[in-house]
Structure 1
Amino acid sequence: MDFTDVSLVALRVFRAVAEHGTFTAAAASLGYTQSAVSRQIASIERAAGAELLERRRDGVRLTSAGRVVMRRATVVLDEIDATARELAGLPGQAGTVRLGWFPSAGATLVPRALVALRRSDPGLHVVSREGGTPALVRALRAGSIDLALLASGPPFRAPDDESPPLALQTLTERALRLAVPATHPLARGDFVDVADLRGQRWIAGSLSGADRLMGVWPGLDERPEIAHVARDWLAKLHLVAAGCGITTVSASLAPAAPPGVRILPVRGGPRELRRLLLARLAHPPSDAVTRVAAALRAAALDSETPGASSPLS
């Protein structure tokens, strides 16, 4: 086992593969060919004398040896990045927190927390990015982000089965809601009966993959008619406002709904709960990460209060 000849390029490629989950996606993110990525991974595995990635049909995942190397590689890469930031006169890593969040969290929760942090901790620098739960979990494991806001639905399993488990905290648990056009017959009352969802036109997620039916009420006892497909939550809500169909939304999106949309609870059938989770690696967090986590918890609590102020007020 000899790491003396392992390059920073190989370490960055290794982290990109761990974060993106496939050689193809990692190559695209780095601007490399897939064969170049494969060569870099082969070189670091030769140096380790062990297989660092488990190759599977749906992608790759870190082996136990891979997790050890990833943990050490993250320290090295973060130190190099911190040096570059310091030389460029940018905020030091000690005062920087990298936050990942699922799409609808960017509507109200993340802006509200960032506004509060600008007031209470003006020296704290937060950089953030949007992503789906699998991508954010991989980024946490790869050390590319420090905190992640994740959405979770029943049966509320852990977001992955890696060891050690992620440190998870439930910020909110709220019932899934329905977005309907204000002129739609379903919008006449203060709630929608689940029996009235049959025969509706739906605005759903992508045509393939795990999010294919996101936007359709869970457990619907018919084959849904999907009129439009959109992954972006704002696009979905504007399609609803235009009278193009109905869709499911997190309760937290109610303050961000455009004119012409009503966000309503659904009565009848099993209660569809959704949790907002704050996730990080199991090791003790830095002071900066602790302060950002506290701001996110406060923003989540504020969002639970009726009549909560807008994120930029």
Structure 2
Amino acid sequence: MLDLHRLRLLREVHSRRTVHAAAEALGYTPSAVSQQLAVLEREAGTPLLERIGRNVRLTEAGQVLVTHATRLLDGMEAAEAEVATVAAGRAAGVVRVASFQSAFLSIVAPAVRTLADTHPDVRVEAVEAEVEQAAPALRLHQLDVVVGDEYEGQPRAVHADLQREDLLREHIRLVLPESHPAAHLEKVPVAQLADIAWAACQPGTGHREMQVRVCRDLGGFEPDVRYSSDDFLILLELVQTVGAAALLPDLVLSRGAPGVAVRLPAEGTVGRTVFMLTRQSRTPAVAAVAGAIREAAGVSLQPGRSPSSHPNRASGRPRSRR
């Protein structure tokens, strides 16, 4: 009889392409994984992996087993969730959530607080992670819910095997020093910021790509990006202290941006969508967490919190990065 644990190892190796990467992800040594896979091949009576350079790929028999392993693991998860629900008399179990940081603070944390009252038998474990790293872990049942972001004009990869739900769309706003000549305008032409230094996230990030694209497409210039950090608080500090400009989303600015001017671009709007990913089949506990996240997202940018209701300046100090 095939062992479900070994089938999971096979699926990890298939997803991560190397035995070493799968072992690291699961907390095993590569030799331990190799030994377990050798046992699985003896159980199956046929080779399941073949080496291609430093990577490995599944044989046809290995592909068949991985397909069935996914169904079996989904069924096992559903069975465990149903047993926990029956035992508790309501939704119960552990739900693992990953989110980028500004949504973690404004959406996930309030959702967890609500769930403590509405679903006390659901244990939420949350971690900060970007969607590119989190989506594979979602498939492998290492995560259950992923909250990600997608800048307008920069679509994320389509995950046809996962369920995507858009939570909110927020504006991306120009943040500039109050001393800048354009700061008094209700909407600022991006072209008027061609001679100012810019602060942005690190090269290769969606935020950096968005900021460069906006300056090129709306302003007609290549931005002078002198300051780089993936921490939005640092970017805001750079606007305040060294007079840089930046493009930042509502979820960050809604928590306050003292001493700077927050404006929409005059040439047109720029947006970001915050979305949620789960596996296609949601257990009662995952459905409860997804519902709480959806509800928290619905109030995260209500008037009074969003800079759209305070076009000149937001008050307070931000505490999120992304």
Scaled by the length of structure 2, what TM-score is found?
0.71
Q: Does the 8 Å CA contact 2:154/2:206 hold for their aligned counterparts?
A: no
Is 1:216 aligned with 2:211? yes
Is 1:290 aligned with 2:287? yes
Amino acid at match of 1:242: T
Query: What is residue 88 of structure 1 aligned with on the other side?
Result: none
CA distance in 2, matches of 1:60, 1:176: 42
Query: What is residue 173 of structure 1 aligned with on the other side?
Result: 169
Larger radius of gyration: 2
Equivalent residues in 2 for 1:24-35, closer than 5 Å: 26=22, 28-29=24-25
* 1:11-50 deviation per Cα after TM superposition (whole angstroms, max 9, x unaligned): 6755665776766655555566667666666765776657
CA distance in 2, matches of 1:100, 1:264: 31
CA distance in 1, matches of 2:50, 2:215: 39
Amino acid at match of 2:285: A
Q: Does the 8 Å CA contact 2:151/2:206 hold for their aligned counterparts?
A: no
Query: What is residue 301 of structure 1 aligned with on the other side?
Result: 298
Q: Does the 8 Å CA contact 2:11/2:66 hold for their aligned counterparts?
A: no
Equivalent residues in 2 for 1:109-188, closer than 5 Å: 109-155=107-153, 157=155, 159-162=157-160, 165-188=161-184
CA distance in 2, matches of 1:112, 1:142: 27
Q: Would you tell me which structure has more helix in proportion to its own residues?
A: 2
With 301-310 and 54-63 compared, the bigger mean Cα shift is at: 54-63
Q: Does the 8 Å CA contact 1:204/1:213 hold for their aligned counterparts?
A: yes
Structure 1 residue 280 displacement after superposition: 0.8
CA distance in 2, matches of 1:58, 1:260: 52
Q: Does the 8 Å CA contact 1:178/1:246 hold for their aligned counterparts?
A: yes
Query: What is residue 189 of structure 1 aligned with on the other side?
Result: 185
Scaled by the length of structure 1, what TM-score is found?
0.72
CA distance in 2, matches of 1:173, 1:14: 39
The alignment's C-alpha RMSD in Å is 4.3
Structure 1's 140 and 305: CA in aligned 2 closer, same or farther, altered over 3 A?
Answer: same
Structure 1's 173 and 211: CA in aligned 2 closer, same or farther, altered over 3 A?
Answer: closer
Structure 1 residue 278 displacement after superposition: 1.5
Equivalent residues in 2 for 1:221-232, closer than 5 Å: 221=216, 222-232=221-231
Q: Does the 8 Å CA contact 1:74/1:142 hold for their aligned counterparts?
A: no
* 1:110-150 deviation per Cα after TM superposition (whole angstroms, max 9, x unaligned): 22222222333333321111111211211111111111111
Q: Does the 8 Å CA contact 2:101/2:128 hold for their aligned counterparts?
A: yes
List alignment gaps of at least 5 residues for structure 1.
81-92
SS in 1 for 2:186: coil
CA distance in 1, matches of 2:51, 2:211: 35
Structure 1's 14 and 239: CA in aligned 2 closer, same or farther, altered over 3 A?
Answer: farther
CA distance in 2, matches of 1:262, 1:22: 49
List alignment gaps of at least 5 residues for structure 2.
81-90, 307-315, 317-322
SS in 2 for 1:280: strand
Query: What is residue 72 of structure 2 aligned with on the other side?
Result: 72
Structure 1 residue 231 displacement after superposition: 1.8
With 234-243 and 152-161 compared, the bigger mean Cα shift is at: 152-161
Q: Does the 8 Å CA contact 1:19/1:139 hold for their aligned counterparts?
A: no
With 26-35 and 187-196 compared, the bigger mean Cα shift is at: 26-35
Amino acid at match of 1:192: V
Size of the aligned set, in residue pairs, is 294
Q: Does the 8 Å CA contact 2:92/2:119 hold for their aligned counterparts?
A: no
Amino acid at match of 2:239: V
Instruction: Report percent identity of matched pairs.
Output: 27
